[in-house]
Amino acid sequence: MTAPRPLSAAPPGGSAGLTAEGVSKRFGTVQALRDVTVTFRPGQVTALMGENGAGKSTLLRILTGDHRPTEGRVLLDGQPLTLSSPVDARKAGIRIIPQEPEIIPHVSVAENVYAGSLPRAAGRRLDLAELRRRITADLERLGFDKVLDPDLLGSELTAAQRQLVEIMRALTGSTPPRAIAFDEPTSSLSEHEVDALFSLIGRLRDDGIAVIYVSHRMKEIFQLADRIAVLRDGQVAGVVDAATTDEGALVRLMVGRDLSALFVRQQVATDRVVLDVKNVTTDDVTDISLQVRAGEVVALAGLIGAGRSELALALSGDAPIRSGTVELNGEVLRLKTPRDAINAGIGLAPEERKAQALFLQRSIRDNTSLVNLGRLRRWRFVKKRQERHLAQEFTDRLRVRTPSIEAEVRTLSGGNQQKVVLARWLARKPALLILDEPTRGVDIGAKAEIYHIVADLAREGTAVLLISSELPEVLGLADRVVVMQNGHTTGELARAEASEEAILALAMADDLADTGTTAHPSTGVAR
């Protein structure tokens, strides 16, 4: 990946930059931010870190006009700003690339990028020639011309492509950007796309733009950031120079204690096969066979586009199986719909929790009981007392940080939203639980909690199929690792055999074969 330029010896000082000064924010009885003062300097990348619920999202929403501070103010180059809406922030040159892209499904990439400022010809018709000229020029300027087709519809975009559309929106328009916030921008990008993004961020910094970079990935932080601002419990825990700090110091600032670098769960698998996939072929994967036993965690590893999530959708009844069989506890399943999978005992926590798993405008109670209504109903009516008891039990068990189970899920941090998804399935007690990127966008403290939840599920006899792009997570949680590439499996590793090198070698096996390269049988290192 492209290396950023080093921290300048004399960073811009004075009042230059985007500043939150004495900012506090209260939502009812919840104090989200308390007296936060931090400056995001032009020509620097400032990483914003903290546990989920620490106040990062609230601070970003104040800086971009979504929220008004209860106390304090926002300044740009020392001048106070009145940000009544995101429109005001955009006019001031403040932009955000959100973690969950907002894409219009039935129009093209080009129309999505310039929504609100589309070129018009005579008669107010869309000027297609000018639209083509603009999107072609901007794609080339930003380095996305090889990874984004301007004619694709929003509904046809991958998660990575939706993220790139949001980035293009932020970097185009009549008002040049002064400060840009990236909120977990690499969570769904391939290595090539991440490389292009990091190169772009380096160019933005060189152009004197203040870059705010929110991520839980330590490697990215130390690769990109000049300074790191850490929030804990709604307050500034510290602002440090990235060149003179380390991971341990950041973890202590974020959580107030040390955490072990790698969680390793104890193996508790039995011999009883719960999931038996035999030669399954779908529109996206070919001839997949694998087993998961009771109490076992099997990880599906591979690069983005390998077909892991597509297999998960097929196993959960959300994509058609063209051939092959799926057995659960010895019974052959006919998975035509997600309801078929749920009734059979299969649960899925999908990769994109906001788009695919949660009803953001509904309460924690509603979201938790969603797949459990069958046993909560009497005739056509839901037994409200039992529903509340169920939601409260699993909200408490998973330590969801919320003032009430009646709170809307949209008000929760990413880590707590993920816990609500898990609470739904823990209450259902599925025989097989598929976890697709369960810690995506989740801070280091919440990750540790989710790891313990997975360990508890396995200990209780649940079969777990884990999809994760974080290899330390795979190595710490999995009993076995099945590696995929280009829609098929390239190998399987027992825990004792698994290493990052061995997994990556299998994940790139097709490419290595094309070049005549082989991998060492034990280390996986190409030779």
| Triad 385, 390, 396: Cα angle to 5° | 120
- Residue 10: how many other CB atoms lie within 10 Å: 5
> Domains in the chain, start-ordered, CATH in brackets?
27-100+159-255 (3.40.50.300), 259-345+430-527 (3.40.50.300), 355-428 (no CATH)
Q: Which residues contact 184 (CB under 8 A, 6 or more apart)?
A: 99, 214, 215, 216, 414, 440, 441
Residue range 264-285, pLDDT digits in tens: 777 787 899 999 999 999 999 9
pLDDT at 370: 78
Band (379; pLDDT cuts 50, 70, 90) = low
Q: How is residue 290 written in tokens?
A: 């694998």
Q: What percent of the chain has pLDDT over 70?
A: 88
Say what the pLDDT of residue 3 is: 37
User: Can you tell me whether residue 219 is helix, strand or coil?
Assistant: helix
Q: What is the mean pLDDT of residues 92-97?
A: 90
Say what the pLDDT of residue 354 is.
81
Which pLDDT score is estimated for 11? 38
Residues 135-151: tens digit of each pLDDT: 999 999 888 888 889 99
Averaged pLDDT score across all residues of the chain: 85
The pLDDT, as a whole number, for residue 527 is: 36
d(CA 302, CA 510): 12
Q: Band of the pLDDT at 517, cuts 50, 70, 90? A: very low
Q: Tell which residue, 504, 495, 496, 501, has the closest CA to residue 477.
A: 495
| pLDDT in the model for residue 303 | 77
Q: 3-class DSSP state for residue 173?
A: coil
Q: Write out pLDDT tens, residues 306-341.
A: 899 999 999 999 999 999 999 999 999 999 999 999
**What is the predicted pLDDT for the residue at 13?**
43
Q: Pairing state of beta strands 227-232 and 45-49?
A: parallel
Split at pLDDT 50, 70, 90, the class of 81 is very high
Q: What is the pLDDT confidence band of residue 345, given thresholds at 50, 70 and 90?
A: very high
63-77 average pLDDT score: 94
For residues 343 and 102, the model is more confident at 343
What integer is the mean pLDDT of 232-248? Answer: 90
Instruction: Answer whether 387's CB lies under 8 Å from 369's CB.
Output: yes
Does residue 153 register a pLDDT over 60?
yes
Give the Cα separation of 81 and 54 in Å (integer).
24
Taking each helix axis as running N to C, give the angle between helix 444-459 and helix 414-428, from 0 to 180 degrees, rounded to the nearest 10.
10
Residue range 73-88: mean pLDDT, rounded: 92
Residue range 111-134, pLDDT digits in tens: 999 887 888 887 678 888 899 999
If you average pLDDT over each of 185-194, 472-481, 509-518, which comes out highest?
A: 472-481
pLDDT at residue number 373? 67
Which CA distances in Å does 357 have to 204, 370, 381, 466, 527? Answer: 35, 10, 23, 17, 43
